[in-house]
Structure 1
Amino acid sequence: VHRLIAPRDQKHQSNFVEFRNMSKIVYRRYAGLFFCACVDTNDNELAYLEAIHFFVEVLDAFFGNVCELDLVFNFYKVYAILDEVFLAGEIEETSKQVVLTRLAHLDKLE
């Protein structure tokens, strides 16, 4: 996957790459980080591109200017955020405030 998306020109190529037989990779780059989702060819790529952006916005709000180290050392929190936003590959929650409230409740349990 990295070999497919890393060399692509962000200004002249789209954020969608055909992958294997029946799927596409939708990705978005934020500084040096790539966020990728493998989606069915029939799914709406733009919806998943926005979902990736929403996920990064939630990460940024939760960690306060998220960086790679936050993702590496708090991977369990990243998975919790991922579980709050997506369910079985579909977008579960679209309200950033609702997700952040649920995450605050989870933090209180620790």
Structure 2
Amino acid sequence: MIHFVLLISRQGKVRLTKWYSTYSKKERTKCDNDILRKVIRELSGVILTRGPKLCNFVEWRGLKVVYKRYASLYFCMCIDPDGNELEILEIIHHYVEVLDRYFGSVCELDLIYNFHKAYYILDEILISGEFQEPSKRSIVRSVAAQDSLVETAKEQTGSISNILAQAAK
């Protein structure tokens, strides 16, 4: 099972986070944001300081973190200690390929300005921390369908706004 997914820039800025595991009662009594910031700060410090020739697996707090750097982003997934690291590397690569297909040579700015689409694509691939959809074509088709629904809703909202504006005159 995947506990969480992080996308971190080379400067240590978090670009995307998705959490699949819950915290214990002791951890929940503290402020949630402080816990998350501490986890992200600690983990990004470990990953960003590693050399490029070292392996992409890190043991951290009794769990394994699998990461891969693509351009200026580190894609990180935290898994159980007995999880399959190579499978997680494939899931990371699958996610990057789908992002590439959707955005056309994805870059960090695509994820900053279209973070909702990056989350939607991730939700199509992973459900509750488990790999669900291996078909890139199916994922891109689903995201395109969502985009057309959003455009339709925007057009309807715009036309309703125009009608209300004219009625108010």
TM-score (structure 2 length as normaliser): 0.63
> Residue 45 of structure 2 corresponds to which residue in structure 1?
3
Secondary structure of 1:14's aligned partner: coil
Distance 2:130 2:51 in 1: 28
State yes or no: 1:73 paired with 2:113. Answer: yes
Match of 1:33 among 58, 64, 73: 73
TM-score using structure 1 length: 0.95
User: Aligned residues: percent identity?
Assistant: 51
Q: Distance in 2 between matches of 1:73 and 1:25?
A: 27
Separation of aligned partners in 1, 2:45 and 2:120: 28
Aligned counterpart, 2:13? none
Match of 1:62 in 2: 102
In structure 1, what is the Cα distance between the partners aligned to 2:112 and 2:50? 25
Counterpart of 2:106, as a letter, is: V
Q: 1:19 aligns with which of 45, 52, 60?
A: 60
Superimposed CA distance per residue, residues 38-97 of structure 1 (whole angstroms, 9 cap, x where no aligned partner): 100111010001100000000011011111111011111111000000011111101111
Q: Which is higher, the Rg of structure 1 or of structure 2? A: 2
Matched AA of 1:48: I
Gaps of 5+ in 1: none
Q: What's the counterpart of residue 162 of structure 2?
A: none
Higher helix share: 2
Give the number of aligned pairs. 108
Residue 31 (structure 1) shift: 1.3
Higher RCO, Cα 8 Å, sep 6+: 2
Root mean square deviation of aligned Cα: 0.7
> Structure 2: where are the runs of 5+ without partners?
1-42, 151-169
